[in-house]
Structure 1
Amino acid sequence: MPIKAILTDIEGTTSAVSFVFEVLFPYAVQQLPDFVRKHATRADVAEQLQAVRETSGEPAADVERVIEILLGWIAEDRKATSLKALQGMVWEQGYRAGQLKGHVYPDAVAALQRWHQSGYRLYVYSSGSIQAQKLIFGRSIAGDLTPLFSGFFDTTSGPKREVQSYRRITQAIGCAPGQILFLSDIVQELDAAQSAGLATCGLVREGGELAGHANVASFAEIDPQSF
């Protein structure tokens, strides 16, 4: 069954893990407290702050306590949808101010452009919010790459290591599972996608092996027609 759509992870796959941990996370830690204090009553922010209270089991937490919880979640790299949404809002300010530029590997840029031109439908699935995904690709060091993509998925579709998440995404894309190629650097994500029927390919940019899946060190090595 020929591949028609390519679904890619970001962190460690299209983009350096170091960009997230050494640039984006520290920026959020620095900027998030004042952002929350300043915009706590803004509807979209207030909605996420309430979600933090509910998730943490502290429904009466004041703004300063919510900030404390959020900073703790950043430190442990917690995949909380409310945190990701708020980080995305903070990062948007940074991108718009020119303080941030999204990192995308040159080999990923070249392949995504080539695949798009060849008629493959391209999608992103990341634990970062859809807003954050669009910022990384929309304000990247290679320019605005968002026109290459047909859609974006985050943890509102489910955790990345659960099979059902990939079934939901497959339904949303509208292809048979075997017509979708999923790219990631995390074996548990690849396993879940494979269990949902998707074709898989692991990125091992720093070496190593993602057992049970095709492995490549660069997007330049991926031929969608070979899956």
Structure 2
Amino acid sequence: MEWPSKFSILLLDIEGTTTSISFVKDVLFPYVTENIGRYAMELYETEEFQADLEAMRHLSLQESNSDREVVRIPTDDKCAAVDALVQNVKHWVQTDKKLTALKQLQGHMWRDAYESHIIKGQ
């Protein structure tokens, strides 16, 4: 197998390997649910966040067909979009959904928190 030149290793999962499961459950997941609104408002105009928001918007359209708790994320109002995003993220984290768009957003939030020294590994 040939790896892309940008990468020297492929790390598939760290939970319970390099980071304790309790740290993930007690620190990382709550960080997302407690800070998603602030994060969204601060980074709303960035290209990365807009890509995350678009993925979450698409996901909300799909998931709202089978889950009444999911709110469709509007495209025309920043505050309404952030409110819907916050509601969906909290719901999906609470119900332990394994959704690609959610995991991508969580990863971006955690990276930002680690780089800002808001979160430190244990």
Q: Would the TM-score normalized by the shorter structure come out above 0.5?
A: yes
Does the Cα contact within 8 Å between 1:36 and 1:45 map onto a contact in 2?
Answer: yes
CA deviation after TM superposition for structure 1 residue 25, in Å: 0.9
Supply the AA of the counterpart residue of 1:28: V
Structure 1: runs of 5+ lacking an equivalent:
104-227
**Cα separation, 2, equivalents of 1:9 and 1:22:** 18
Q: Which of 77, 87, 101 lines up with 1:82 in the alignment?
A: 101
**In structure 2, C-alpha distance between the alignment counterparts of 1:69 and 1:100, rounded to whole Å:** 23
More helix by share: 2
In the alignment, structure 1 residue 97 sits paired with structure 2 residue 97: no
Unaligned runs of 5+ in 2: 1-8, 62-71, 76-80
Name the counterpart of 1:53.
57
Amino acid at match of 2:120: K
Question: Aligned residue for 1:208?
Answer: none
8 Å contact from structure 1 (residues 32, 87) kept in 2: no
How far, CA to CA, are the matches of 1:11 and 1:78 in structure 2?
16
Structure 2 equivalent of residue 37 of structure 1: 41
- How many residue pairs were aligned? 99
Indicate which of 8, 22, 35 corresponds to 1:18: 22
Report if aligned partners of 2:73, 2:85 keep a CA contact under 8 Å in 1: no
**What is the aligned-residue identity percentage?**
33
Give 4+ residue runs of structure 1 displaced > 6 Å after superposition.
none
**1:106-126: per-residue Cα shift (whole Å, max 9, x none)?**
xxxxxxxxxxxxxxxxxxxxx
1:6–1:33 distance in 2 versus 1, CA, 3 Å: closer
Offset at 1:7? 6.5
Q: Does the CA contact (< 8 Å) of 2:43 and 2:49 recur in 1?
A: yes
Tell me the amino acid that sits aligned with residue 20 of structure 1: V
CA distance in 2, matches of 1:19, 1:53: 29
Tell me the TM-score normalized by structure 1. Answer: 0.39
1:9 positional shift:
3.0
Per the TM alignment, residue 63 of structure 1 is displaced from its structure 2 partner at its CA by: 2.4
TM-score (norm 2): 0.67
- Describe the superposition over 1:10-48 as per-residue Cα deviations: whole angstroms up to 9, x where unpaired: 212332110101011111122211111222221111111
Equivalent residue letter for 2:74: A
Give 1:65's match in structure 2, choosing from 81, 84, 93. 84
